[in-house]
Amino acid sequence: MNIKLLAVGKTDDKQLNDLINNYIKRLQYYIKFSFEIIPDIKNAKNLSESQQKEKEGKLILNHVENSDVLVLLDENGKQYDSVLFSEVLQKHMNSGIKQLIFTIGGPYGFSPEVYSRANSKLSLSKMTFSHQMIRLFFVEQLYRGFTILKNEPYHHR
């Protein structure tokens, strides 16, 4: 199985990018993982919130195949602790799917079309974090999930 993190907009903070890349390198020992960035919408200031979500939504869906499982990182999604999240990962791996895509939307969330296509929603917290920080939190939790599955000492129980 492949896992892809798809995010709208780049991160300009070099230190944050370094931390994200550190976990991406670590993940390579466990799973095929890729991180794809959809460029920010040009002239977004001139678009309404719904127009921006619609344009971002089309770009997101262009990266998703019919056979992919799409999970939206969404504030209204289901919350797991790290152990339960690792079990969810294991279930996906056991299901025989080829690609699992986790997606971070733009500043206003996702379009109705993306919500319709999604297989599920995942929330990392009830708190609000920047879209750039969520990238780091997610790749760290993904890494943690795989260390839990392998019974490695990274996660303390």
Q: What pLDDT score does 117 carry?
A: 98
Task: Lowest mean pLDDT of 25-29, 34-38, 127-131, 133-137, name the range.
Answer: 127-131
The pTM of this model reads 0.95
Q: What pLDDT score does 11 carry?
A: 86
Q: What pLDDT score does 46 carry?
A: 85
Q: Does residue 44 carry a pLDDT above 80?
A: no
Rounded to an integer, the average pLDDT of 91-98 is 96
Rounded to an integer, the average pLDDT of 62-69 is 97
Q: What pLDDT score does 42 carry?
A: 81
Residues paired with residue 36 on neighbouring β-strands, in sequence order: 6
Task: Give CA separation, 85 vs 57, 80, 82, 147, in Å.
Answer: 26, 6, 5, 12
Q: What pLDDT score does 115 carry?
A: 98
**Confidence bin at 87 (pLDDT 50/70/90):** very high
Up-side HSE of residue 55: CA atoms within 13 Å toward CB? 17
Q: What pLDDT score does 25 carry?
A: 98
